[in-house]
Amino acid sequence: MQHYDYVIIGGGICGVSAAERIRTQDTHGTIAVVSNEPHLLYSRVLLPSYLKKRIPRTQVLLRTSEDFTRQRIVCVQDSVLEVMPAAQQVMLMDQEALHYTKLLIASGGTPRPWGDARHARFQYRLQTLDDADRLFSALDSLYAPIIIGNSFIAMEFADIFVKNKIMPTILMRESYLLSPCVEREGGKFLEENAKKHGVRILSGDEVEKMSEQDDMLEITTAQGEILKTNCGAVGIGIARNMSFVRRSDIVVGERGIRVNEYLETNCEGIYAAGDVAEFYDVVRGSPHINGNWTNAVTQGYHAGMVMTGTRKPYRMVSAYSIENLGLRIAMVGDCDPQQESLVRYDEAAGRYARFFLKEGKLVGGLLINCREIYAPLIKYIEQGVRIDPATLDIFDASRIRVV
């Protein structure tokens, strides 16, 4: 059995950020990163740019084996079978056990299953570099792609196909793209913009049955639409990779591994960060799970800091943005649609914002083409100040009045 001072489950940006932070704080400790990915660290957020042919594949790659060797970080390519806190061991699929002093779970997520496995050859995802490579190699032969879902990933698929001059159809159960974070006006704005770029939208509908006809997938929807394609691009979210803790004493929350504001689990010496962590958000004042690149980077860095003795609470306003079909779309803070919200929309200027408030405090916002108020919005949310709702403005943040 091999012993490491630090074992990290997950070789994505969260796990690697943690490992590299640990190395800067502890120059002598032994570090192992366990990952079942066939590739070393790469940028998931650059995969769409690679598929839009804006950047070469090499630009997606972020680390080499020499980088890890230089930092004395051991990369173990394997899957985790079980975490055993009492024994301080991680059991791998090849039956090897790793003994640890401290453990970070940064295992991320896997796309949710969809459809019939018999039609898997028509299905495309956008989670891994292998997913992107497979789609890239097929771009010239795709016919009438069908995008399943209304998420940011679904919208990324749409932009990828449009940039490659392949006009897709979005099929979604929901009424609007990005709902429920946007309401009717925002949904209509996104839909009209997508249509201008040649994207067809089938909302309030879903797949009823699928069959193969002449090397094509024939989809019949609940509303009676018959669609033929050789590409089903699925963007319906992820399932957290945490099955290996199910038999342990590690507490799992509603959606992820439960940790406090220090990213500590209930088991001493075990931490969780990134997509898999349901952390106590000190800005929101409640448990939260956040699956985006910035969160993964910052939580990984913070976990590494806490694991090496600097015990400070993780405090950050979540933020995520994309350039999509000519729009700049950003989601900031807590965009829970159950909260009070106010909408500002200027059709002529092509700007939209939905502000979310809790007890008079600004807690979140969904912004479209509102670059000027992006940073100030983060500041107001982080400060937890009360805002005069009547002064919320999508052009000039200086008009927003704190009360």
Q: Which pTM does this prediction carry?
A: 0.95
The alpha helices in 197-312, defined as continuous H runs, are: 293-307
* Assigned CATH for 2-110+240-307: 3.50.50.60
pLDDT per residue of the chain (403 residues) written in tens, 0 to 9:
899 999 999 999 999 999 999 999 999 999 999 999 999 999 999 999 999 999 999 999 999 999 999 999 999 999 999 999 999 999 999 989 999 999 999 999 999 999 888 999 999 999 999 999 999 999 999 999 999 999 999 999 999 999 999 999 999 999 999 999 999 999 999 999 999 999 999 999 999 999 998 899 999 999 999 999 999 999 998 999 999 999 999 999 999 999 999 999 999 999 999 999 999 999 988 999 988 999 999 999 999 999 999 999 999 999 999 999 999 999 999 999 999 999 999 999 999 999 999 988 999 999 999 999 999 999 999 999 899 999 999 999 999 999 8
Distance CA 333, CA 217 (A): 39
Q: Which CATH superfamily hosts domain 113-234?
A: FAD/NAD(P)-binding domain (3.50.50.60)
Identify the CA nearest to 265 among candidates 46, 95, 83, 82: 83
- Please count the other Cβ atoms lying within 10 Å of the Cβ belonging to residue 84: 17
Type and span of the H or E element at 190: helix 184-196
CA 105 to chain CA centroid, nearest Å = 16
259 contacts 280 by C-beta, under 8 angstroms: yes
326-399: which CATH number, 3.40.50.720, 3.30.1490.20, 3.30.390.30, 3.40.50.970?
3.30.390.30
Domains 2-110+240-307 and 113-234 share a fold: yes
Q: Residue 235 in contact with residue 157, Cβ under 8 Å?
A: yes
Domain boundaries along the sequence of the chain: 2-110+240-307, 113-234, 326-399
Rg of the chain on CA atoms, in Å: 22
Q: How many CB atoms lie within 10 A of CB 388?
A: 12
DSSP label of 115 = S
- Amino acid code (one letter) for 305: M
CB 132 within 8 A of CB 126: yes
- What length is written for the chain? 403
Alpha carbon separation from 318 to 62, 332, 375 (Å, rounded): 23, 6, 12
